[in-house]
């Protein structure tokens, strides 16, 4: 497997229009994205039908199909954008399912291994998306940190590198962002 530096070099080459870089990069990042998607989807309700491969394929289509090529900075930048796209794909998927079932089919999703406290049980992906959007309006950095952690599966160290923060700042943002989300889901925000 390529190390971070090699992946970064391939991302930069791809940004500069080298199609062979994308071909070489794809198997390496695909494995990591697939593992991330599998882990994320395994925490969701058992009645979902979206599979990790479908989620990753949709993320790839969105990455490759952008009108302006992304100027990749490094591996963390790539996985940060992939996490954002994963969130968007999951939200679009939940909206489509909800519309198909007239509001009754939205899937439940946990933001943390111990689940966010909510008087109605575990929030669905649309509620989580709405909460994260609201958090980002109030504090964009905390919104990004939460998104990278729970949708991107990034470690605190990876988040710090991706956003140019210190690890203690990321820990604090996670703690405060999670507290804000608990309050939001309890109707206190």
Average pLDDT over residues 14-40: 84
The whole model's pTM is what? Answer: 0.68
Question: pLDDT category, 165, cuts 50, 70, 90?
Answer: very high
Looking at residue 113, its pLDDT comes to: 41
Residue span of the structural domain in which 131 resides: 4-185
Could you give the number of structural domains in the chain? 1
Question: pLDDT category, 188, cuts 50, 70, 90?
Answer: low
- 103 or 128, higher pLDDT: 128
Looking at residue 166, its pLDDT comes to: 95
- 76 or 174, higher pLDDT: 174
Looking at residue 71, its pLDDT comes to: 87
List residues bridging with 108 in a β-sheet.
Answer: 124
Query: In whole angstroms, how far apart are CA 148 and each of 83, 132, 189?
Result: 6, 11, 22
Looking at residue 119, its pLDDT comes to: 52
Question: pLDDT category, 47, cuts 50, 70, 90?
Answer: low
């Amino acid at each position: 497997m390529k190390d971070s530096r090699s992946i970064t070099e391939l991302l930069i080459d791809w940004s500069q229009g080298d199609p062979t870089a994308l071909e070489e990069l794809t198997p390496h990042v695909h494995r990591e994205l697939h593992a991330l998607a599998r882990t994320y989807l395994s925490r969701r309700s058992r009645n979902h039908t979206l599979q990790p491969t479908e989620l990753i394929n949709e993320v790839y289509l969105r990455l490759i199909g952008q009108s302006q090529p992304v100027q990749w900075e490094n591996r963390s930048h790539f996985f940060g954008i992939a996490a954002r796209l994963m969130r968007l794909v999951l939200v679009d998927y939940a909206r489509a399912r909800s519309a198909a079932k007239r509001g009754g089919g939205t899937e439940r999703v946990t933001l943390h291994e111990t689940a966010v406290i909510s008087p109605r049980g575990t929030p669905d992906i649309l509620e989580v998306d709405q909460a994260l959007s609201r958090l980002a309006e109030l504090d964009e950095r905390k919104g990004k940190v939460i998104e990278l952690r729970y949708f991107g599966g990034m470690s605190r160290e990876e988040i710090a590198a991706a956003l140019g923060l210190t690890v203690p700042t990321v820990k604090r943002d996670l703690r405060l962002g999670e507290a804000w989300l608990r309050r939001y889901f309890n109707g206190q925000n």
